[in-house]
Structure formats: C-alpha cells, structure tokens
Amino acid sequence: MTELARPQRVEWRLVGTYYGIAFGGAVLVALLLWGLRLALGDAIGVVGIVVTAVLYMPLPLVAGLVTERVAGRRPLLAREWGALRRSFWRTYGRNALAAVVVILAILALGFGTAWLAGALGVPGAGHLVADAEELRTRMLEVVPGVSAIEVLPPPFVVAATGIAQGIFAGLTVNGLFAFGEEYGWRGVLADLLRPLGLGRATALTGVLWGFWHAPIIMLGHNYGTEWGWGIPAMIAWTVPLSFLLTAVRERTGSVLAPSILHGAYNGVIGLFTFLIIGGNLFIALPMGLLMALSLAVLAVVVWRFRVPGRVPGTGRVDHSAEAPAGRLS
C-alpha cells in the first residue's frame, strides 16, 4: 500500500466505516460490561476497569487500522514507528515536552477556576479543601479505610504528588492505552475530516469522540444514573479538549504527543475529585461545566501556537493540510 495524496473533500464512506467500527465495538463492550455487572454485582470493580482499558480504549485504533486498509493507504502507525526508530529519544522527548506543558497549563487553569468559583460562591462549584481535616473528610467519602491514617499531608503535598504520578503515568502506561484512542480520533478520523478545515474537523471529531462514550456513560461511567445529562456534559468538554489534543498533534506532527497528554489528563483529573468538596457533578471540576469552560479558554490560547500539518518525524510542514481558502482553520 502507498500513502495517497490528501483528498480535497471528505470521504464520508471512510468516516462511516471508521465510526461504525468504533461505536459498534463500544456498544458490544458495554453489553459485555452490563452482563458482567449482572453476574458479579458490586464485585465488578477491578474487572470493569480492566475490560474498559483492554477492550474499550483500543477500539479507535482497530477502527483506524481497518479504515486505512479499506482506503488502501499506508498506515499512520508505520510513519509513527519510523519516526521513533530514526531518533527515539529526540522524537519521544519533543512529544513529551509538548504534552507536559499543556497538562500543566490545564491543571493551573483548572485549580485557578476551582478556587475562584469557590471564592465567588458559584452554585454547584464546591470549594477546594483548605486543610488536612477537610482533606480527611473528603477522602473518607471516596476512599474506604483512610480513617486508619493518623496524619495526612497538607493538601498541596497531596496535589503535587498526584500531579507527578499522573504525568508519569501519562508518559508510560496511561499514554500507551491512550494511544489506542488518539490513533483513531486525532489520527485517522481527524485526517479524514481535514478537508472541512482544521477547526471544523477538530470540533466534529470532539463531538463524535464524546458521543462514543455514550454506551459506558449509560452504564453509570462518570455521571452515575444521570446519563441523559451525562452524554451532552461529556461532549461539552471533549470538544475543547479535542482542540488541545489536536494542537499538540499539529505542533509535533505525531499522535504520540496527544497520547501522552490524554494519558496524563486521565492520570491527574481525579485530583479534582479528591480536592473539591460539595461540588455538583455537572457544574464542578473535573466533569462539569467549569471544566469545559476552563478547557475552552485554554484551547483558544493554545490553538494559536499550533503548526498545521507537520509531517511525523520531520520538521516539514505539509501545506496541503491547511484549510481551504475561505474556511475556518
């Protein structure tokens, strides 16, 4: 197979092939999780996490590879692997740096938003824990057995430790699992939609990516039993997050950067659950409207620093990747 020239219009047949496999697979995995829940009850905990990580997250990778095969195109995976083989540490380091800069910006803006919303008394925003006692109270709610710990570190120590662990996870195992998603969403699908213009393609990718989570949201993932509101709430923050992930891909020319960023995001986002007290699920960080607004503000800034169409493993810009004249980019 050869790498074909970038098409001038969206090949919706291929988009349908990709999304049909990704979303159809998501429905099947969700049905499996539902069956396991019926069989195991509350004991499904760890099993559910493993099934989601091993079967759900790689679905976009499978869908992307099949779609590339149908299209007769050279897999993006071959280009990514070629760049790593030529200069592993330089390629990995460049992608890791871009991802870490953005995740630190997300955290800074997120904690700033949480503090400001709490100080202003925004309804449903909750407030950041102020001391070790509040931290203990919050942890008692979400971590069984923490009462056995006589002394808890100050909240800022917990936050710093969690951030370091989350970023390390993004650089390693979390990034590996996230690659399964990013290969499909920011790789294959984003390239298929690029004739719409980069901005429109990124927004549509964010919507489709968010809706892809619907089957497991309906099982209670992230939003409990409120899945009717949970699905649009998910889409509300996957769209701006998609702009951030696309920006680092455009900057580096590789899906490795958004994979590390995505993995780190998954690793650190739970911090807000521990460190925010009294928040409404649909308003407060990490899953509510305030998270979506924080990501949107940051996306506007980061989007200005992207380099459209950089070819993986090179410093060359593919100008055919830029939006057609007169279209939003």
Q: How far apart are CA 30 and CA 186, in angstroms?
A: 23
DSSP 153: P
Q: What does the angle CA 4 – CA 198 – CA 205 come to, to the nearest 5 degrees?
A: 90
Specify the residue for token string 């590339």: 68
Q: How far apart are CA 144 and CA 120, in angstroms?
A: 32
Residues 6 or more apart in contact with residue 242 via CB below 8 angstroms: 185, 186, 202, 203, 205, 206, 209
User: Among 49-63, 133-147, 236-250, 313-327, which is the least confidently predicted range?
Assistant: 313-327
What's the mean pLDDT when you consider all of the chain? Answer: 88
Over range 119-126, report the average pLDDT: 96
Q: Are 208 and 97 in contact (CB under 8 A)?
A: no
Q: Are 321 and 309 in contact (CB under 8 A)?
A: yes
With b for 16 or more beta-carbon neighbours within 10 A and e for fewer, the 108-138 pattern comes to ebbbebbeebbeeebeebbbbbeeeebbbeb
Q: Are 68 and 76 in contact (CB under 8 A)?
A: yes
Q: How far apart are CA 133 and CA 154, in angstroms?
A: 9
Q: Where are the domains of the chain?
A: 12-321
Q: How far apart are CA 309 and CA 153, in angstroms?
A: 46
Percent of the chain with pLDDT over 70: 88
Over range 303-312, report the average pLDDT: 65
Query: Does the pLDDT of residue 321 top 50, yes or no?
Result: no
Q: Are 195 and 219 in contact (CB under 8 A)?
A: no
- For residue 143, count CB atoms less than 10 angstroms from its CB and return exposed for 0-12, middle for 13-18, buried for 19 or more: exposed
Name 310's bridge partners.
317
- More confident of the two residues 152 and 298: 298
Q: Residue 325: how many CB atoms within 10 A of its CB?
A: 7
Q: Are 170 and 264 in contact (CB under 8 A)?
A: yes
* Bond from prior residue into 286 cis (ω within 30 degrees of 0): yes
Binned at pLDDT 50, 70 and 90, residue 309 comes out as low
Over range 208-223, report the average pLDDT: 95
Residues 6 or more apart in contact with residue 267 via CB below 8 angstroms: 165, 166, 167, 168, 169, 170, 174
